[in-house]
Amino acid sequence: MMKPVILTGDRPSGPLHLGHYVGSLANRVHYQQQGWTQYIIIADVQALTDNYEHPHKVHDNVFEVACDYLAVGLDPAQTTFFIQSQVPEIADLTIYYLNLVTVNRLRRNPTVKTEIEQKGFRDSIPAGFFVYPVSQAADITCVKATTVPVGEDQLPMIEQTNEIVRTFNRIYKKEVLTEVRAIVPEVSRLVGIDGKTKMSKSLGNAIYLSDSADVVAQKVKSMYTDPSHIKVSDPGQVEGNTVFTYLDVFDTRKDEVVELKGGLGDMVLKKRLTEVLNNFLDPIRTRRAVFYNDKASVMEILKKGTLVTREVAANTVQEVKDVMYLNY
């Protein structure tokens, strides 16, 4: 098997949280350890498609997200970070790919359909948002990625990319672009502290990698547990108890967690979870603080990664333009 080339990343619309860690950051660290080629896109252009009135927010979160990456152990010597807006080759490819997708096909994209509802765009869908699956195909193909880790709900985006790849190669009669394979990680989401749905910034139910120990303690205190579990002697209801969900993920002493499930008061459990999370987050926070206080170095890392990416992307654009006879 050929060594995979991974493309993954985030919209910089807020700092990253434990949900991101569990669902993707941990896997990225793993890919890095495998020695795979990995590009991580900080997708500011995509973030702008539904934040175009808040460019400052997007700008600031590019740095925040980069600090999060570095804090969890993603290493610029092994993994290439880049800022989407600084790779104009992506825009160039997007424009050519747009010819290969119909308006109706975009309208049928299930991921976009759901997001349009969630965001309440109704009759005012920004065209930029509407076509972002095409721009995503450009993100992926510009570095000739072979493999993209995605959540279940993002699978239609990969299908859209592969449709573009196949149509392009067929019309322009050369295998310039490569189809990609999706990896759907086993654990792709972590429930929020409200216990209701996935952890998400917009739902206000997140614990951030950058939260202080005190903030973590407070958030754990407010966690949804089992309302029927009043006395310590009552058998603890484990199912639907968010504290246990988190302990299962983050507590390394699995045997003790099993014992705890026998029945213990919320106070005790939450104290333990606070400790567990803070133990987990401590080294991340320490590394994060170092990077956060040296913005120049972080931005230099992004600049270097972006340059590397531009070189690869420029090659792809050249190949694309060559088969389209856009060479004069």
Q: Tell the smallest beta-carbon distance from residue 170 to its own copies (Å).
A: 10
Q: Which residues lie closer than 8 Å to 71 by C-beta, 6 or more apart?
A: 209, 210, 284, 285, 287, 288, 291
66 or 199, CB closer to its own copies?
A: 66
Tokens at 268, concatenated: 């005790």
Question: CA angle, 57 as apex, 54 and 62 as ends, to 5°?
Answer: 130
Query: CA nearest 140: which of 160, 156, 161?
Result: 161
206 or 317, CB closer to its own copies?
A: 317
Tokens at 190, concatenated: 């972590």
Q: Tell the smallest beta-carbon distance from residue 112 to its own copies (Å).
A: 11
Q: Tell the smallest beta-carbon distance from residue 290 to its own copies (Å).
A: 20
4 or 12, CB closer to its own copies?
A: 12
Going by DSSP bridges, is the β-strand pair 37-42/181-183 parallel, antiparallel, or unpaired? unpaired
94 or 146, CB closer to its own copies?
A: 94
201 or 303, CB closer to its own copies?
A: 303
**227 burial level (CB within 10 Å; 0-12, 13-18, 19+):** exposed
Tell me how far apart the alpha carbons of residues 51 and 44 are, in angstroms, rounded to a whole number: 10
Going by DSSP bridges, is the β-strand pair 181-183/5-10 parallel, antiparallel, or unpaired? unpaired
Q: Tell the smallest beta-carbon distance from residue 66 to its own copies (Å).
A: 10
Q: Tell the smallest beta-carbon distance from residue 193 to its own copies (Å).
A: 31
CA 95 to chain centre: 25
Q: Tell the smallest beta-carbon distance from residue 111 to its own copies (Å).
A: 16
6 or 164, CB closer to its own copies?
A: 164
β-bridge partners, 276: none
CA distances from 6 to 29, 281, 305, 314 (A): 12, 26, 14, 18
- The H-or-E segment that residue 79 falls in is strand 79-83
Q: Tell the smallest beta-carbon distance from residue 270 to its own copies (Å).
A: 40
Q: Tell the smallest beta-carbon distance from residue 91 to its own copies (Å).
A: 4
- CB of 136 within 8 A of CB of 157? yes
CA 170, 171, 175, 176 torsion-angle sign: negative
44 or 68, CB closer to its own copies?
A: 44
26 or 299, CB closer to its own copies?
A: 299
Q: Tell the smallest beta-carbon distance from residue 90 to its own copies (Å).
A: 8
Tell me how far apart the alpha carbons of residues 266 and 289 are, in angstroms, rounded to a whole number: 32
39 or 81, CB closer to its own copies?
A: 81
Residues in contact with its own copies by the rule CB under 8 A: 44-45, 48-49, 52-53, 55-56, 58-59, 62, 83, 85-86, 88-89, 91-92, 94-96, 98-106, 123-131, 134-135, 171-172, 299, 302-303, 317, 321, 323-326, 328
Query: How many CB atoms neighbour CB 98 within 10 A?
Result: 16
